Amino acid sequence: MPFLPVCKQDLIDRNIEQLDFICITGDAYVDHPTFGIAIVSRLIESLGFTVGMIAQPVSDSDYKALGKPKYAFMVTGGNIDSMVSNYTVFKKKRWDDDYSAGGKGGKRPDRAVTVYCRKLKQLFPETEIAIGGLEASLRRFAHYDYWNDCVMPSILVDSGAELLMYGMGEVTITEMMNRFKAGDKLSDMHDIRGTCYLTDPVNTPMGAVQCDSFEMVRDSKKAYAKACRKQYDEQDEVYGRTIVQRHGNKMLVQNPPQRSLTQSEFDKTYELPYMRTYHPMYEKEGGVPSIREVEFSITHNRGCFGFCNFCSIALHQGRRIQTRSEESVLNEAEMLTKKPNFKGYIHDVGGPTANFRNPSCEKQLEKGLCKGRKCLAPQPCKNMKVDHREYLELLRKMRKIPKVKRVFIRSGIRYDYLIEDKDETFMRELIEFHTSGQLKVAPEHASNKVLDLMGKPHIEAYEKFEKKFYSITKQIGKEQYLVPYLMSSHPGCTVSDAVDLAVFLKKHNIRPEQVQDFYPTPGTISTAMFYTGLNPYTMEEIYVPKKPEEKELQRALLQYYKPENKALVTKACIIAKRRDLIGTGKDCLVAPTQQNSKGNNFEKNRKSQAKATNRNTVGARRKKTK
């Protein structure tokens, strides 16, 4: 199958007078199943409709390139929120974007979904619009916007779209297409699960869970925190109810979450006729960098019952695990080996959490996942079933495929789940066959108080895993390392907590090259904590580090060993009343800065004196000082 039409000439070549649907995306056009819009467009096509693709439109002529669709525009900001793509956590402009041609930033506007929809409404006022993807999904309710530092209304209000699809859209799209065939419009489809819409208050569904209005959550942080909890508590396909939230003279309605895909449906999604690369129109710019990481990677699951508070997966993909069949995954692996640039390495067999292939427990299939509780934190639930056998067998079969030299696992491994497996076979084979020198894991912090607010397991789980990892690594005669992901300045984290983390890192000989400041992205529980200073599940007050100076201190502590961080680490230790960590002892974080009699920095004073002395004298002074 060729790429979908991107210009009028493509329509002429295919004898298409008018497309049924036109997709608008904030990413470059990459026809690969790791791109949500690729799945949506190919699925619509498979259901008998014609579909075109407009990527990163700027001018009116870009939007008009394929004419007017018969049914609707489908709009997404792309695989990543446009504001996260365009700005760092310090709100500085990014100049790179792996989802754009040549890796160059600036090709998608801020708040891309809203910008695209408003322009479409201006150019095609009679044509309906459905929005979806991460940017739309996480902004479906009134939400705190970090970049404007205020609460904004549902993206449906600002964009003017008729319907919002949240979560993973295959079942929703299929139902929508059947309704279009029956003659319905988007404005007739207010009963489809997994969607949101605006309506007159008189049409509010009976029995819905009501959040405080946009105006109330905008003006009251307590109301915002309570609304956040209600929204998360209903994100389960078994017991989730309709949620409503008034916005001025309109009522926002979120229908219950869509059901999960069956395994057969999941297989079909990944077996659609993707080109599995970027459109050739980007070749002159060097292609689209994001394809490199996914070209030889395979998705075998969706969902994550880990449910970290700072992560968007629970509100978007959901907590219930969905998996592809072994046959489908192995067929994809064999297909990859036939690609001309395949070098023998499958880069990943994973998903949001690579080693989840079964429900966390049996009862969730009938009763749903526990409301307001987590399967793994702060301690593993006693009802949790830990089983890696199916995933292990899949990896073993993949290793035996001709032309496959190595199969790596690069997406996240939940070590806290893995360490609960009484059978060490998977962990041993993970270390021996599927780790390329480094295994990425995410303890995130070392303070259990902070970890509780993150929704992560206590640090003892990581220490247990670390000990086992290095023991097995030594037994099999390999030199491999854990690469921990760590986060600074999460709500609840004080400078003292950050100092404790630095002490932990030194004790475990961990020197992270990269660290992440907490980024308050729309829709997450941690973002609600950041904005309100309240824990939505207890309504207790939480300390929130917001001042740039403190955030800089916490970030520096994660890399305490760097000379350029010495002054910041020293200051942090003093603030935390941990002067015992300033010294030359084995447990100290930073060496003391010596002062001369006038209180000036000794090193600066020494360098100025060096201009008037010879090298031997300076050397003697250094020796004497020591």
- Structure confidence at residue 1 (pLDDT): 65
Give the pLDDT confidence of 167-181 residue by residue, as tens digits: 999 999 999 999 999
What region does 254 belong to: left with phi over 0, alpha with psi -120 to 50, or beta? beta
Give the pLDDT confidence of 537-549 residue by residue, as tens digits: 999 999 999 999 9
- Structure confidence at residue 412 (pLDDT): 84
Query: In degrees to the nearest 10, what's the CA dihedral of 410, 411, 414, 415?
Result: 10
Quick check: 542 and 449 in contact, CB under 8 A? no
- 3-class secondary structure, 453: helix
Give the pLDDT confidence of 91-131 residue by residue, as tens digits: 999 999 999 999 999 999 999 999 999 999 999 999 999 99
Quick check: 56 and 28 in contact, CB under 8 A? yes
Question: Which comes out higher in pLDDT, residue 111 or 620?
Answer: 111
- Structure confidence at residue 395 (pLDDT): 98
List, in order, residues 6 or more apart from 102 with CB less than 8 Å away. 282, 285, 286, 287, 289
Q: Over 50: is that where the pLDDT of 284 sits?
A: yes
Structural domains in the chain, CATH included, are 8-197+250-254 (3.40.50.280)
- Strand-pairing partners, residue 196, are 164, 254
- Strand-pairing partners, residue 322, are 302
Share of the chain above pLDDT 90, in %: 92
Confidence class of residue 514 from pLDDT cuts 50, 70 and 90? confident
- Strand-pairing partners, residue 346, are 407
Q: Over 80: is that where the pLDDT of 607 sits?
A: no
- Structure confidence at residue 515 (pLDDT): 85
Give the pLDDT confidence of 412-441 residue by residue, as tens digits: 899 999 999 999 999 999 999 999 899 999
H or E stretch covering 526:
helix 525-532
Separation of alpha carbons 473 and 457, rounded Å:
24
Helix ranges (DSSP H) in 220-353: 221-233, 263-270, 291-294, 313-316, 326-337
Confidence class of residue 595 from pLDDT cuts 50, 70 and 90? low
Tokens found for residue 439: 């295994």
- Structure confidence at residue 513 (pLDDT): 81
Q: Over 90: is that where the pLDDT of 264 sits?
A: yes
Quick check: 259 and 563 in contact, CB under 8 A? no
Give the number of other CB atoms < 10 A from CB of residue 76: 27
For β-strands 21-25 and 516-517, DSSP reports them as unpaired
Quick check: 362 and 423 in contact, CB under 8 A? no
Give the pLDDT confidence of 444-496 residue by residue, as tens digits: 999 999 999 999 999 999 999 999 999 999 999 999 999 999 999 999 999 99
**Whole-number average pLDDT of the chain:** 94
Q: What is the mean pLDDT of residues 382-393?
A: 97
Confidence class of residue 525 from pLDDT cuts 50, 70 and 90? very high
Q: Residue by residue, what is the 3-state secondary structure of 541-552?
A: ECCCCCCHHHHH
Tokens found for residue 521: 């992205």
Q: Over 70: is that where the pLDDT of 615 sits?
A: no
DSSP 203: G
Give the pLDDT confidence of 199-251 residue by residue, as tens digits: 999 999 999 999 999 999 999 999 999 999 999 999 999 999 999 999 999 99
H or E stretch covering 171:
helix 170-181
Residue type, 236: D
Quick check: 253 and 246 in contact, CB under 8 A? no
Separation of alpha carbons 20 and 17, rounded Å:
10
First to last CA, the chain: 73
Q: Over 90: is that where the pLDDT of 88 sits?
A: yes
Give the pLDDT confidence of 547-579 residue by residue, as tens digits: 999 999 999 999 999 999 999 999 999 999 999
Question: Which comes out higher in pLDDT, residue 613 or 583?
Answer: 583
Confidence class of residue 277 from pLDDT cuts 50, 70 and 90? very high
Give the pLDDT confidence of 285-308 residue by residue, as tens digits: 999 999 999 999 999 999 999 999
Confidence class of residue 348 from pLDDT cuts 50, 70 and 90? very high
267 alpha-carbon distance from chain centroid: 23
Tell me which residue has tokens 């961080």.
Answer: 565
- Structure confidence at residue 101 (pLDDT): 98
